[in-house]
């Protein structure tokens, strides 16, 4: 069991390595490399899109990049920082020690800085390409998943459900950003933005694991059982592709192609984003649940057996 006194702050690491203190501005370069990984956007390889030519394919990748960055901004400023700030300011209904609250405030600073960098970079891309983003989603999967999961737990455990959801998603995002930062097909500046983000998210990942591990070890059995029951509802809502498909339909409709072609492409894309047991998100979620100690709790392990 983790004790309140055993938590170790990352303050020294933050002072030395936080990107807000140590990274230059990332500037878009003029080269032929991509803004977005081809393998993350199945539309790129659709036969009709391939026949339409590289300009259409590049447009699809650019718009997918706009969406990804917009999603990151929503995730960091509207979701992660909501929970982190509640912890930092002592508004979370659990008495975290000062070291936890201080680290939570550093997460708030980092995430707002990531959003600032993302906004700056998006503005550069739009000015350099002369291509504006199509209509963006106003929410992400977490925007729906958290309140829907909270509805399945008693009111006194709502904050705990939110904490678990944010911690799970932060660890999922860390792995996703890492994949971006290693992609040789992407512009150096895109990889730089992602590498900077990763430098902070790796620290955040450890923070959220330790925070949940501490929280989980200190709450009573009733709380653990209630939160364990809520977890599968969260995972079901989180691991969906509805919003991605909504975006792709808008993206397809924006293309200068015959209506029949656009309709066929949209139909073909319905099963383009399968989430199976081997999907990286599920693999990362399993890893988080194990490291945070939740899988040691038999009722919780049984409740989420379908994802293990």
Q: List pLDDT tens digits, range 290-299.
A: 999 999 999 9
Quick check: is 30 in a domain? no
Quick check: is 169 in a domain? yes
Rounded Cα distance between 308 and 289, Å, is: 10
Q: How confident is the model at residue 30 (pLDDT cuts 50, 70, 90)?
A: confident
Predicted confidence (pLDDT) at residue 234 exceeds the cutoff of 70: yes
Q: How confident is the model at residue 2 (pLDDT cuts 50, 70, 90)?
A: low
Predicted confidence (pLDDT) at residue 84 exceeds the cutoff of 90: yes
Quick check: is 282 in a domain? yes
Rounded Cα distance between 195 and 214, Å, is: 29
Structure tokens, 89: 């300011």
Quick check: is 286 in a domain? yes
Quick check: is 235 in a domain? yes
Q: List pLDDT tens digits, range 200-217.
A: 888 899 999 999 999 999
Quick check: is 125 in a domain? yes
Structure tokens, 109: 């600073």
Quick check: is 142 in a domain? yes
Quick check: is 24 in a domain? no
Structure tokens, 232: 């599968």
Q: Give the pLDDT mean for 136-159.
A: 94
What's the pTM value of the predicted model, to 2 decimals?
0.89
Q: Are 153 and 80 in contact (CB under 8 A)?
A: no
Indicate the number of domains in the chain. 1
Structural domain containing residue 119: 41-307
| CATH code (residue 290) | 1.10.620.20
Residue 139 backbone phi and psi in degrees, to 5: -145, 165
Residue 4's pLDDT is 62
Predicted confidence (pLDDT) at residue 277 exceeds the cutoff of 70: no
Rounded Cα distance between 174 and 200, Å, is: 9
Predicted confidence (pLDDT) at residue 15 exceeds the cutoff of 80: no
Rounded Cα distance between 183 and 77, Å, is: 26
Residue 200's pLDDT is 87
């Amino acid at each position: 069991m983790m004790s309140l006194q055993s938590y170790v702050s990352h303050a020294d690491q933050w002072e030395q390595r936080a990107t807000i203190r140590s990274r230059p501005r990332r500037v878009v370069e003029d080269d032929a490399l991509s803004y977005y990984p081809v393998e993350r956007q199945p539309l790129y390889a659709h036969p009709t899109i391939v026949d339409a030519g590289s300009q259409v394919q590049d447009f699809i990748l650019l718009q997918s990049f706009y969406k990804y960055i917009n999603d990151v901004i929503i995730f960091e400023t509207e979701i992660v920082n909501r929970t982190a700030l509640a912890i930092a300011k002592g508004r979370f209904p659990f008495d975290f020690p000062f070291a936890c609250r201080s680290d939570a405030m550093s997460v708030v600073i980092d995430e707002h800085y990531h959003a600032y960098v993302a906004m700056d970079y998006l503005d550069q891309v739009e000015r350099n390409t002369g291509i504006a983003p199509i209509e963006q989603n106003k929410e992400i999967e977490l925007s729906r998943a958290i309140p829907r999961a909270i509805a399945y737990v008693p009111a006194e455990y709502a904050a705990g459900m939110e904490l678990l959801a944010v911690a799970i998603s932060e660890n999922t995002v860390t792995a996703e950003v890492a994949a971006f930062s290693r992609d040789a097909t992407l512009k150096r500046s895109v990889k730089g933005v992602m590498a900077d983000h990763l430098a902070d998210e790796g620290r955040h990942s450890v923070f959220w694991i330790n925070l949940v591990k501490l929280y989980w070890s200190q709450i009573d059995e009733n709380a653990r059982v209630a939160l364990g029951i809520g977890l599968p509802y969260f995972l079901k809502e989180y691991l969906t592709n509805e919003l991605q498909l909504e975006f792709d339909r808008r993206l397809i409709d924006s293309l200068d192609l015959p209506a029949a072609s656009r309709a066929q492409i949209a139909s073909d894309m319905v099963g383009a984003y399968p989430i199976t047991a081997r999907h990286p998100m599920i693999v990362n979620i399993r890893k988080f649940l194990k490291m945070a100690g939740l899988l040691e709790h038999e009722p919780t392990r049984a409740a989420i057996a379908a994802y293990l």
